[in-house]
Structure 1
Amino acid sequence: MVNGIATVWVPVTDMDRAVAYYRDVLGLSLKSQSEDWSELETGGLLIGLNARESATSSDGGGAVISFQPDGSIEDERDELTSRGGELTGEISEHPWGRILPFKDSEGNDLQLYGPPAD
């Protein structure tokens, strides 16, 4: 039934602000931009920004995108905050890996993910 991921899309309320965040703060490559839909790419995965009236929902249930950092989570945390990223917690350790939660410019939950230490 499923043969892979075609795209991941994220709801946004301000397209210009969201594109600037994903491009300038996270360093993703901008592929296309319009008022209603923009596409950025990282590691072969296409991320679509979809304009709508409200980016977040009080009902919950939204997906969280986990990004693989270029370096250590600690180094990337410092880079993320220096570029204006909003952390929502500290680095947490789990048997399945380490995560650092943050939000994008539209209030969507994101995180950096690192595999567990050997």
Structure 2
Amino acid sequence: MFGKISAIILLVADAPKLVSFYRDVLEMEVKQESEDWIELSTKEGSTVLALYPSRDKKKPSNVKQGLNDGRSTLIGFNVSDLDSVCKELENRGVSFYKRPAEESFGKHAIIEDPEGNLISIAEMKLKDEYTQISYYHGFAPE
């Protein structure tokens, strides 16, 4: 029925502020930018993070609140060295929702973008010296 996930779309209140965060702080590349649609991606990824500006410049009131204070969706990234990535993000003033911690699948942290969207960062354990564990849970905040 469906192919691969091609985009994660965030409704945002302040698109320029979030473009700066994702481009300058998280070092994502802007692939396309217009007044009402911005696409970013990582150098290695094929999935697009799209920012869709709210017309009234605030979080849309018609968006239903989910679990965890209305933060029911996280964007997830894998990294090879969580400690160095988190240290760099801390130096850049990024807010941590969950500090780096050991989990059953590896190391994990959660940061927030300027509008409070949660971003999961994981360093996966290797199953053996050649193979990464194929799945894990843990993106969700506790």
Q: TM-score range by the shorter chain?
A: 0.7 to 0.9
- Runs of 5+ unmatched residues, structure 1: none
TM-score (norm 1): 0.86
Higher relative contact order (CA 8 A, sep 6+): 1
Counterparts in 2 of 1:55 and 1:116: CA distance versus 1, 3 Å? farther
Q: Percent identity?
A: 28
Cα RMSD of the aligned pairs, angstroms, is: 2.0
Q: In 1, distance between residues paired with 2:59 and 2:105?
A: 33
Q: In 2, distance between residues paired with 1:58 and 1:111?
A: 22
Query: What is the identity, as a one-letter code, of the residue corresponding to 2:48?
Result: L
Counterparts in 2 of 1:79 and 1:34: CA distance versus 1, 3 Å? same
Instruction: Note the C-alpha offset of 1:93.
Output: 2.1
Give the SS at the match of 2:98. Answer: coil
Match of residue 66, structure 1, among 69, 73, 76: 76
Q: In 2, distance between residues paired with 1:85 and 1:7?
A: 24
TM-score (norm 2): 0.73
Q: In 2, distance between residues paired with 1:75 and 1:105?
A: 21
Aligned residues: 117
Question: Residues 4-43 of structure 1: matches in 2 within 5 Å?
Answer: 4-42=4-42, 43=45
- Runs of 5+ unmatched residues, structure 2: 128-142
